[in-house]
Structure 1
Amino acid sequence: MDKTINSNRFYRFLEWLMWLMYLNLIWVLTCLTGLIVLGVFPATMALVITIREWCMQQDMPSFHKTFLKAYKQTFVKANLIGYLLLAIGYVFVIDYQWIIQNQSSFQPLFLGVFIILGIGFLITCMYIFPAYAHFQVSLPQSFKHAFILGISSPLLSIIMFAALFLLQYLWRFIPGLLPVIGISLTFYMITRLSIMAFEGFEKKQQMLVEKEYRKGANKHA
């Protein structure tokens, strides 16, 4: 009995690994289709949307169909999100260089503010694609959801930071895995943890609504 359970688990792991490899391959091909410059962010958004459906559905989704449909539908918005993040990141780099070179009494204050804003930016970067895939809202709302939900789920955000940090060591230790499952595994972990954060936040909101409703009902009773 134990051997059967273990073999089933091993088979499911191999199947999971196979789909990660397949998604990684599609991501690479669609990046090339968009000549990399225009393909990276839509391919990443399509990857996140496909992984989200994979995690939330009991039945296996059609990976190829789901991925290509998401790639086409989010092509423009994904590029807008991606290049806006790059522009903001570039501003952060310039600001950091200015703070380091600015030898004044205000340097510690500037550096403290920079660190706080930088953490907020990194959280937004981690959650932005899953937030857009999950809520299907406008771009400003996607940024707002990503930041608020990341801040309101500190434990999951810390776990996400730690997971990404550990993955860097995995790619260095086994560099051959990077072109095979590097992108798909990274965004699988990000998407999976983001879904947990979103569902936890939605449950908290629902509990608050029910609490307010009960208070209102008790007042009218």
Structure 2
Amino acid sequence: MVHILSNGVYKFCEWVTRLAYVNILWLCFTVLGLGLFGWMPASMAMFAVTKKWVNGETDIRIFPVFWNSYKQGWWKGNILGIIIAITFFLFYLDFRIIGTFEGNTTLLLFVMLGLFLSVSTTFFYLLPVFVYYDLRLLEYIKYAFIIGFLRPFHTVGIFIAVLGVTLIASLHITLLLFFSISSLAFVITWIANKAFVSIDHRLRKVNQQRLV
């Protein structure tokens, strides 16, 4: 009993250390890229690490995986990051403009919220898609969009996870600084991986039926 308990405590401490370390790496490399040019490559590098964790490779050397992914994904990551930043900034402006309108804007707000949720869904799948598939630049966005709507239950799970992790991280500055982004990346990777495996399995079944 004592052995099981101590083993559980040890594994818990291991995961706390891993998540904190990756979170610090993400912060440092985001700053290294001056924020705007660092956050997306750093995020892709972080998802490359969490992908290996989800696949059972928990004993990897984290920094080499992170650093190699950061370098390799620098240009693609920044192009995608700029597209995402501009898109969400335009949404911000649109909502501000709608707020200045007089009269009933319910329908317009409903349409804008629908578009915002579609873009948010694409964004949440974009990083897992980037580390899971080898595609052309704009195909990452297309695949992320399609998968997000092909697997609605997984998508809802990701939104719930994002909300839950955000609420927990907001409880204390320590959680925010050391565990918020890495924990979110791990949960999103885990759920997205389930969606990818499900889609790959269905595609294999379809291909087998065609060959019969």
TM-score by length of 2: 0.91
1:125-156 Cα offsets, whole Å, 9 max, x none, are 11111111110211211001111111111111
**Quick one: distance in 1 between partners of 2:28 and 2:96?**
36
Q: Check 1:59–1:188 CA distance in 2 against 1; reply closer, same or farther (3 A cut).
A: closer
Closer, same or farther: CA 161–59 of 1 in aligned 2, 3 Å = closer
Measured after TM superposition, the shift of residue 210 of structure 1 is 2.1
1:147-197: CA deviation from partner (whole Å, max 9, x where unpaired): 111111111111111111112221222232111112111111111111111
The CA deviation string for residues 107-127 of structure 1, in whole angstroms up to 9 with x for no partner, is 444333222211110101111
Q: Which residue of 2 aligns with 1:88?
A: 87
The equivalent of 2:148 in structure 1 is 150
Identity among equivalent positions (%) equals 25
Segments of 5+ residues of structure 2 without an aligned counterpart are none
Inter-partner Cα distance in structure 1 for 2:146 and 2:138: 12
Match of 2:165, as an amino acid?
L
Change (3 A) 1:59 1:40: closer
Residue 123 of structure 2 aligns with an amino acid whose one-letter code is: C
Separation in structure 2 between the aligned mates of residue 59 and residue 167 of structure 1, nearest angstrom: 21
Structure with the greater alpha carbon radius of gyration? 1
**What is the CA-CA distance between 1:64 and the residue it aligns to?**
0.8
Question: Which stretch of the first structure deviates more once superposed, 29-38 or 162-171?
Answer: 29-38
Q: Which runs of 5+ in 1 are unaligned?
A: none
* TM-score, L = length of structure 1: 0.87
**Which residue does 1:25 correspond to in 2?**
24
* TM-fit CA distance, 1:57: 4.1
SS at match of 1:61: coil
**Alignment check: 8 A CA contact 2:49 2:66 kept:** yes
Q: How does 1:1-221 map to 2 (within 5 A)?
A: 2-58=1-57, 60-103=59-102, 107-213=105-211, 217=212
> Matched residue pairs, number?
212
